[in-house]
Structure 1
Amino acid sequence: MASKTPPPRGLANLERFDLLPALRDGVQVRYEGSIDKQGFNADWDWWLYREGREWVIFDVDGPGCIYNFVQHRYPESEEPTFRFYFDGEETPRFEIKPSEFGTKPPFVRPLADAYLGPEDNGRGPIRVVRSFVPMPYAKSCRITTDLRLKGPNKGDGGWGHVVCHSYADADGIETFTGREPYGRVLERWSRVGEDPKPAPAKPYEAAVLRGLTIAPGESVLALDERGAGCVAAILAEPEPESEPSAGGEGWLGQLWVRAAWDGHEKPDVECPAGVFFANELGYNPVGVLSHGRRADGSCYNYFPMPYWRGARIELINRGTEPVRFARWETRYSKADPDSPPYAEGQAGYFRSSAYYGPKATPGADSLIGRIEGRGHLVAGHVTAWARKPNVISCEGDVRVRIDGNATPQVESDGSESWVCYGWGFPTPPETNPSSAYDGLPDNPWSMVRLCGGDWYPFERELVFGIESGEYNNQYLRHSGVLFYYGVDGPGMVLTDELDVGNKASEGAHVYRTAGSRGYYTLESEYEDGTGRVLRDTGHETEGSSEFVVSVDPRNRGVRLRRRSDQATGRQRANVYVDGVRVKERSWYYADRNPYKRWLEDEFDIPAAYTAGKTDLAIRLEYVQEGETRAWNEFYYWVFSLV
């Protein structure tokens, strides 16, 4: 796993839980869903455009892989048929109805499932289908439905989302057929609470503490290792009298886990045991593949945690009562110097964001975590408290912004949709291998999402926020933590900027166009929920635009980011680098927003076109698609992946 073999993609990415620490090049996370374009809570009308008798709900160009599909609707609604088109095919390669999720191969339990929400005082019931079945594609993917998914009323059709990875190139990608061997994943997903990693070649070593009592203010060393290795599991068996009381009290809230790898002064992991074991509130035992609490009260965390010079794990009692365990066990392996399980520099450290303690941010998103460096998010944990019982407090969107992009790369239509249940939190506990929630009906609630296949890569930073209520119109206290694999230092650097409409900048970059429709000025907002209004001048063309940009010759690819006007959707352009067309994909964005019109979208140029160069001549050739009549551009940022 530490060799120079390219990390797996598609199904193989989900099969190899042990490869979760591997740092990946040329991968971005993408989201498409039914988000209220005006920023409120009208999260329906899930469609991009109509084509013939079908409504298109997902449309991307270039290689990638779908990892999460969710759709929710009232049972009274007419049942749609979802059709999946791959690699430009005119005939759908796969079809499925909501009633078939969980039973139609390969969309079978527990990789795919259905959930029926409660009556909930007349709001329900609601039917939710979700899938974590990997669906890779070498060239493109389009999902359609034979019904328009619209409206908030019973009988209207429904809403939902798709989460996917976008790849810079198609290396190792075999397009989905539906006949892939899913047996290994299905078998492991059926054994939540057991280690999902492949059995080691030789038994793990173990540091075991028995009959452990940790007094208030006391710190106990659970592991102190020198040399290279990997923590494979952390297991806890509390004494019966130490069972957590409901609401986050007891040892799940008092005990903190602190881990530092390779002598780092700043802890890599530091958080309450409740979030470390996916049970911050502790009302009910819930768990996902990676971490959780079993029905007997024992807890597990199976994330692989590699280190190269040493590992130190401490247990700290920050409460006022003693914490007692019958057994606390840390399983680990020592690295073979000739074939270490993870090569330093090719894998990230297992880390947590700083614990976001319970607090409210009235009128603004709660920023659960801000991560810096390079890596990928693999799990998120969020808990919320409203001021009174039975308040529907989970409608707030999760918004994830990556690498300074003003447009969220992931934005759910409510926190309950991010965790793939899709109709509030009135029936805790609920759990599946990739997501779960606990609490009391609607308030308080606590959710955990494992991103085992659809992890969120970042090259500079990741900011994870969540609204309080429908549009930050409620008073909620949030807490939470993010788990990720990462290294210090950025994986990309800003090497150039082109300000279209600024004559000096245009001149410095030899900017010129053909088929110009002229310049215009726009004043609008992004979809980031901040309400920030930006005024900028840009240009649109129905022909082409060209410019020269500077890059780092050591680059492992180049990322172009564009500020554009998304009043109309389906903007498309072919991209040429030094006269050579990038064959992997066109620059294409299918969605639109006529209200919050600013968009920042990105295009990855593989290293084959850029390596060793200091300057690139970029040519963007507009391709008419659907309602669009021009390619517009206001600003370009040029990042070298290094």
Structure 2
Amino acid sequence: MMKETIHEQPSQLHAVTDEATAHLTKVIPERPIMIPGIDSLLRMELLPRLRHDVQVRYEGSIDKQGFNADWDWWLYKEGKEWVIFDVDGPGCIYNLVQHRYPDSEEPTFFFYFDGEEQPRFQLRHSEFGQKAPLIAPLADQYMGPDDHGRGPIRVVRSFVPMPFARSCRITTDIRLKGAAKGDGGWGHVMYHTYTSAIGIHTFTGQEDYSELLNQWRAVGDDPKPEVEGKTVALEQLQLEAGQSTTLLQQSEQGSIVSIKARWHHDSTLEIPRSLLHDIWIVAHWDSHEQPDVECPLGAFFGNELGYNRIGILSHGQRQDGQWYHYLPMPYWSAAHIRLENRGANAVEFAQWEIRYTTLNESLYPQHDTGYFRTSTYYPLQATHGADSIIGRITGRGHLVAGQVTAFARTPGIISCEGDVRVYIDGNATPQVESDGSESWVNYGWGFPTPPEMNPATAYDGLPDNPWSMVRLCSGDCYPFRKELIFGIEAGEYNNQYLRHSGILFYYGQDEEGMVLTDELDVGNSASEGIHTYHTQGSRGYYTLESSYEGDADDVLITDKGHETEGWSQFTVSVSPDHSGVRLRRRSDQITGRQRAMVYVDDQLVQERSWYVADRNPYKRWLEDEFDIPIAYTAGKEQLTIRLEYVQEGESRVWNEFYYWIYSLK
């Protein structure tokens, strides 16, 4: 019989005392000046600041068998409602998308915050963009075409930030399922999780987003506050084939405010598409040997194809023909920006303009700020049976924008079904996915009606093929501490011949922000002995052969693990100078809603439980993570971790196969 050892019930999990909060405030270093929520969207000048204790996550309608049936979106049923999102601990929702046939039964979405039993906010599918504070263009609707009887489809989206200090659940009054007429279940939530709730104010539904709305209604204008600065302007700039020219040369600290260009003063003239690929912008900050920015002109201004003018808040092309790029680019000793003509023909630009300002060191302290960088450009090419890896970034930082273009073999073919998949810091489970590439940019059913744009996303091309999409991740940026890999499928499940190209924009530093300091192989007696692993309420060991979700879902991995109805405990080593600790677990996700209370040296981590609501009975391996705040680990080189199982819903045990222990820097 299992001995009862759980010290806290789930309802008591977040009873954080004033003393505990005071302790956290003393031990945790000062938070970044950006507070989760509206600040992270409104204050684009803060994008270069490195994110501390932040992770990006996704929940949505991904086919659990790895194919293209990405239309069933629910986690479990609670009473009369279907739960589609369930997260414990501090966080913030930044993006919600759902596709639905207008003649289908209309769902109502209910939002529960911080353990509330009654929803704090609710809205119907048809109210996106119309019910405050989910007002256009922060929230909006896209109506797809009839598309030979397949449509129309209504895609609702929201970029309204919804922070929460303790927990969040989203439910619907009907089940979101199916792809047939009368159904429509596709959807996702993109969100951040935070180690600490300090500074977070839970969403009320009464927030004043007027300033943010005004910013989003002025796409094409610089969204950052106006600052004093200098402008370097070049008129009638000519570049011969193979020639390069300097746009800006600075030997002091500063920050690029904006980069603008015109190919011709007559905005009605069609831009030669070769111009978008042959002319590259290259930038070196602080005399770095390798370029920080190396990007074709089309991608730098948000459109590799150039069929139509599109623009988002950060970069694009205005209706008057002017290209603009407003992402801030700080540097501390030097800046060198040049144009290179890598084509075979001479080109001429009507104008180039770079605006820069003196570096504000309180805004951009060097140790806490990333350089603006691009990933290595991914040239147009096809992969076979695997994701196209658009970008692979190392060091620490956060991704803020991406551009992906695709060509199929024949015109008109639906080539958008490939999922975007983002792997962060070596985690074998993708932290970001999308049910089709078009959902990543908040549209749906392909790219049948180009051009389309909203302040955060846009796409251009011809109907369905070719297409080029651009997305700004300002609120829901993708933080990484070691590595970020951004890939996209070719077709429904890498079964099409597609040529992809693209690039990523990010802020980063070369130094990694985490180091692996220990590993526990559960089921290995030597490893268990070294880590003084023991348990109570054991259900025994078992061996599983399965695969992870994602690009490698055909690779079988065999491991031996353990499951318990009580608790497990082990001792691990961490770096003496760490700023927090991350636990990563390999688990079997055959059942969802696995929950455990986490104790560090007998002290309960009060900010959250270790909780995973989702499940996958087909691709059963999951790597999920738990960040321990520095308040529980400061000054220690050894930690005793105890994980106490809490029964939730269908779950009956806590299972564990492998633990990786990372010390955060």
* TM-score w.r.t. length of structure 2: 0.94
Counterpart CA distance in 1 for 2:468 and 2:184 is 29
Who is 1:529 aligned against? 551
* 1:171-570 equivalent positions in 2, closer than 5 A: 171-200=198-227, 203-239=228-264, 249-335=273-359, 339-530=361-552, 531-570=554-593
Q: 1:214-244 CA deviation, whole Å, 9 max, x = no partner? A: 1111101000001111001000011258988
State the Cα distance separating 1:390 from its structure 2 match.
Answer: 0.3
State the Cα distance separating 1:399 from its structure 2 match.
Answer: 0.2
Query: Cα–Cα, structure 1 residues 82 and 242, in superposed 2: closer, same or farther, change >3 Å?
Result: closer
State the Cα distance separating 1:6 from its structure 2 match.
Answer: 3.8
Q: Which amino acid aligns with 1:129?
A: V
Query: Cα–Cα, structure 1 residues 158 and 104, in superposed 2: closer, same or farther, change >3 Å?
Result: same
Q: Does 1:27 align with 2:54?
A: yes
CA contact (8 A) 1:244 1:251 kept: no
CA contact (8 A) 2:87 2:611 kept: yes
CA contact (8 A) 2:48 2:369 kept: yes
State the Cα distance separating 1:157 from its structure 2 match.
Answer: 3.8
1:597 to 620, 624, 628: 620
Q: Which amino acid aligns with 2:455?
A: P
RMSD: 1.3
Who is 2:85 aligned against? 58
Q: Does 1:164 align with 2:191?
A: yes
Query: Cα–Cα, structure 1 residues 245 and 254, in superposed 2: closer, same or farther, change >3 Å?
Result: farther
Who is 1:607 aligned against? 630
Q: Which amino acid aligns with 1:37?
A: K
Q: Does 1:620 align with 2:647?
A: no
CA contact (8 A) 2:133 2:208 kept: no
1:68 to 81, 95, 114: 95
CA contact (8 A) 2:32 2:52 kept: no
CA contact (8 A) 1:74 1:158 kept: no
Who is 1:49 aligned against? 76
Structure 1 SS opposite 2:366: coil
Q: 1:597-638 CA deviation, whole Å, 9 max, x = no partner? A: 000000000000112110000000000000010000000000
CA contact (8 A) 2:332 2:366 kept: yes
State the Cα distance separating 1:537 from its structure 2 match.
Answer: 0.3
* 1:567-582 equivalent positions in 2, closer than 5 A: 567-582=590-605
CA contact (8 A) 2:110 2:172 kept: yes
Query: Cα–Cα, structure 1 residues 269 and 167, in superposed 2: closer, same or farther, change >3 Å?
Result: same
State the Cα distance separating 1:280 from its structure 2 match.
Answer: 0.5
Q: 1:259-298 CA deviation, whole Å, 9 max, x = no partner? A: 0100000000001010000010000010110000112221
Counterpart CA distance in 2 for 1:87 and 1:526 is 31
CA contact (8 A) 2:32 2:51 kept: no
Q: Which amino acid aligns with 2:494?
A: N
2:660 to 624, 627, 637: 637
* 1:109-120 equivalent positions in 2, closer than 5 A: 109-120=136-147
Which one is further off, 528-537 or 476-485? 528-537
Which one is further off, 408-417 or 250-259? 250-259
Q: 1:428-454 CA deviation, whole Å, 9 max, x = no partner? A: 000000000000000000000000100
Counterpart CA distance in 1 for 2:584 and 2:148 is 46
Counterpart CA distance in 2 for 1:244 and 1:522 is 62
Q: Which amino acid aligns with 1:192?
A: V
Structure 1 SS opposite 2:517: strand
Q: How many residues align?
A: 635
Q: 1:328-372 CA deviation, whole Å, 9 max, x = no partner? A: 001000236xx5541111110000000000000011100000000
Structure 1 SS opposite 2:102: coil
Q: 1:147-204 CA deviation, whole Å, 9 max, x = no partner? A: 001111111242200000000010100000011121111010000000000111xx22
* TM-score w.r.t. length of structure 1: 0.97
Q: 1:411-431 CA deviation, whole Å, 9 max, x = no partner? A: 100000001002210100000
State the Cα distance separating 1:122 from its structure 2 match.
Answer: 1.6
Counterpart CA distance in 1 for 2:371 and 2:258 is 15
Q: Which amino acid aligns with 1:235?
A: K
Structure 1 SS opposite 2:349: strand
Query: Cα–Cα, structure 1 residues 276 and 142, in superposed 2: closer, same or farther, change >3 Å?
Result: same
Query: Cα–Cα, structure 1 residues 360 and 345, in superposed 2: closer, same or farther, change >3 Å?
Result: same
Q: Which amino acid aligns with 1:57?
A: I
Who is 2:26 aligned against? none
Structure 2 SS opposite 1:250: helix
Counterpart CA distance in 2 for 1:464 and 1:262 is 27
Who is 1:141 aligned against? 168
Query: Cα–Cα, structure 1 residues 244 and 252, in superposed 2: closer, same or farther, change >3 Å?
Result: farther
Query: Cα–Cα, structure 1 residues 572 and 304, in superposed 2: closer, same or farther, change >3 Å?
Result: same
CA contact (8 A) 1:193 1:294 kept: yes
Counterpart CA distance in 2 for 1:184 and 1:17 is 13
Q: Which amino acid aligns with 2:85?
A: F
Structure 1 SS opposite 2:368: coil
Counterpart CA distance in 1 for 2:507 and 2:126 is 37
Query: Cα–Cα, structure 1 residues 241 and 103, in superposed 2: closer, same or farther, change >3 Å?
Result: closer
Counterpart CA distance in 2 for 1:242 and 1:213 is 19
Counterpart CA distance in 2 for 1:243 and 1:322 is 21
Who is 1:126 aligned against? 153
State the Cα distance separating 1:78 from its structure 2 match.
Answer: 0.3
CA contact (8 A) 1:244 1:250 kept: no
User: What's the % identity of the aligned pairs?
Assistant: 67
State the Cα distance separating 1:134 from its structure 2 match.
Answer: 0.1
Structure 1: gaps spanning 5 or more residues: none
CA contact (8 A) 1:519 1:537 kept: yes
State the Cα distance separating 1:473 from its structure 2 match.
Answer: 0.5
State the Cα distance separating 1:4 from its structure 2 match.
Answer: 7.0
State the Cα distance separating 1:326 from its structure 2 match.
Answer: 1.6
CA contact (8 A) 1:390 1:441 kept: yes
